[in-house]
Structure 1
Amino acid sequence: MNYENAGELLPEKLLKEVKKYAAGKLLYIPQDDDKKAWGEASGYRQLLVRRNQLIYNKYLHGTPIAELSKEYYLSQETIKRIVYSKKNTNKLDYDPTAPSAAAYAEAGMLEEWVHTYVLFGRRNKNFSEGLALINRTYEGPLWIPLSLLDRTSGPESGMKWRVDREDFEQKVMHWTKQIQAGEATPPLIAKVAQGRMELNCGNPLLEALHRTGVSEYPVIVWMTELAGDEQYLKQYVMYTPD
Structure 2
Amino acid sequence: MKYENAGDVLPAHLLEEIKKYAAGKLLYVPLEKERKAWGELSGYRHMLVKRNQLIVNMFLHGVEVEQLSAKFHLSEETIKKIVYSRKNKFQLTYSPTLKSASEYSEAGLLEEWIHTYLLFHRRNEIFSDGLRLCYRYYIGPIMMPLSLFQRSSGPEYDMKWKVHPEVFEHRVSEWLNKIVQTEDTPPLLINYEHNKFEINSDNPLYEALVRSRVAEYPVIIWITAKECHDAFLNTYGMYV
Question: Could you tell me the TM-score, scaled by structure 1's length?
Answer: 0.87
| Contact 1:57/1:94 (<8 A) preserved | yes
- Work out whether residues 135 and 224 of structure 2, in 8 Å CA contact, stay in contact via their aligned partners in 1: yes
Question: Secondary structure of the equivalent of 1:95?
Answer: coil
- Change in Cα spacing, 1:45 to 1:150, as seen in structure 2 (3 Å) is same
Residue pair 1:144, 1:239 contacting (<8 A) in 2 also: yes
Deviation of 1:4 (Å): 3.7
2:228 counterpart SS class = coil
Equivalent residue number for residue 146 of structure 2: 146
What value does the CA root-mean-square deviation take over the aligned residues? 2.4
Taking a change above 3 Å as real, the CA distance of residues 28 and 127 of structure 1, as seen in their structure-2 partners, is closer
Contact in 1 for aligned 2:195/2:231 (Cα 8 Å): no
Q: Does 1:85 align with 2:85?
A: yes
Tell me the CA shift for residue 222 of structure 1: 0.4
> Does the 8 A contact of 2:146 with 2:216 survive in 1?
yes
Asked if 1:62 corresponds to 2:72, the answer is no
202-211 or 74-83, larger mean C-alpha shift: 74-83
Please give the alpha-carbon distance, in whole angstroms, between the structure 2 residues aligned to 1:152 and 1:162.
Answer: 9
User: In the aligned structure 1, how far is the partner of 2:31 from the partner of 2:44?
Assistant: 20
Could you say if the C-alpha distance between residues 117 and 22 of structure 1 is closer, same or farther in structure 2, counting changes exceeding 3 Å?
Answer: closer
Of stretches 208-217 and 37-46 in structure 1, the one that deviates more from structure 2 is: 37-46
CA displacement 1:154-209 (0-9 Å, x = unmatched): 00121111110000000000000100110111110000022121100010000000
Determine helix, strand or coil for the equivalent of 1:220. strand
**Any idea what SS the aligned residue of 1:36 has?**
coil
In structure 2, what is the equivalent of residue 158 of structure 1?
A: 158
Q: Kindly indicate whether residue 129 of structure 2 is the aligned counterpart of residue 135 of structure 1.
A: no
Q: Secondary structure at the match of 1:87?
A: helix
Partner residue, 2:122: 122
Number of equivalent positions: 232
Counterparts of 2:238 and 2:13, CA distance in 1: 53
**Equivalent-residue separation in structure 1 for 2:41 and 2:33 (angstroms):** 8
What is the SS of the residue equivalent to 1:45? helix
